[in-house]
Amino acid sequence: MASKQTRLRAMSSAMRGMTVRAMTCAIALMFTSVALLVRPQVVVAQESDLSGSWVSPATNNVLEVYEGPFTDDWTGMPLSAAGRALAQSWSAGMLAEPERTCQLYGQWKYMTFPFEVRIWPLVGGSNDRIVAWELQKAEDEGGMTIWMDGRSPPSKYLDYPRSAFTTGHWKGGTLVAETTHMKMAPARNNGGYYSDRATLTSTFIPHGDSLVMVFILNDPIYFTQPYVYSRVWTRAARPANTQWPPCIVNYEGVAEGDVPFYLPGKNPLLDQMMQLFHVPEYASEGGADTMYPAFRDKLKAQYLKLYPTFPKKCTQYCTNFRAQQPVGNLPQPVQPAAAKSGRRNSPSGP
């Protein structure tokens, strides 16, 4: 028969074991509760309504959209050596070649074309869900269909229409789209091109009656870094025009078989930016360095040295108004001389 002291020792040992197990359980519950409280929040897709007609104010990028860039201005474009050589060989006469008269632009053109754009959903399937978002074609632009049904991209060896292939997904209230199977097309209307191996990431960010589009163009052939461009749109008061006449090939000054171009080092227009704005050729020829603010420090000393020689009045890319819309590259109006009385001369005629 065990002594009383032995039974007490056994009971004490059992109590200690129960206490340890209870404390272990309590600590485990505490850590579980903390883990539940600090677990990362999952971003739930919250689809936005992008449908409607959208217009981009002319003040957004008037010089790029309306009057167009100078033929030697590729500042801010991350051109590779191949991209630069192609750009410097470009001649505006190429646009008059019969085989290029009806050559459409690609999806990047939404960043630089002057038209309104209409966006609408495509509904289908057994539950009538939105399977795609459609961006209208323009007169010379191939359009974009953003598939939202999870379909797989076609083979990279498949020749695709100029509308390319685009899939999209929602990230919160923002639509993110990925475009592949693009055709070679201008990234800027002066010979800066992207190749048919380029891909495009498009982000559509709605803010009430405003829509921000951010396009990121990647091209392993003609770029060395992504080319990023953004544009702001506002909801239009009237529906966008969706009816465009068919393109008809006409003679526009270049005979069939002729190919206007410049041989390396023979382009006479490569010093325009220097002559007009004192921007040296190593800056206007583009490259990844010209995209960043630090590049200004490289130009500062030369720019300030030449500043006293600048014309005192604007001669090129002056912003004016045409039909109550701001436009670029118009000469400033000549102000009439003031009369001796201090009043302006009254216009002649009735």
Tokens of 55: 């217009």
Is the Cα torsion angle 174, 175, 180, 184 positive or negative in sign?
Answer: negative
Q: How far is CA 59 from the centre of its chain?
A: 16
**Which amino acid is residue 311, in one-letter code?**
P
For position 23, what pLDDT does the model report?
A: 54
For position 306, what pLDDT does the model report?
A: 80
Tokens of 105: 């632009």
pTM for this structure? 0.77
Domains observed in the chain: 52-58+78-235 (2.40.128)
Query: What does the CA dihedral 154, 159, 163, 166 come to, rounded to 10 degrees?
Result: 20
For position 329, what pLDDT does the model report?
A: 56
For position 35, what pLDDT does the model report?
A: 45
Residue 298 CA to residue 265 CA, distance in Å, equals 24
Residue ranges of the chain with pLDDT lower than 50? 1, 4, 7-8, 10-11, 20, 26-27, 29, 32-44, 337-350
> Position of tokens 């953004």?
230
Q: Which residues contact 106 (CB under 8 A, 6 or more apart)?
A: 141, 142, 162, 164, 182, 183, 185, 194
DSSP 66: I
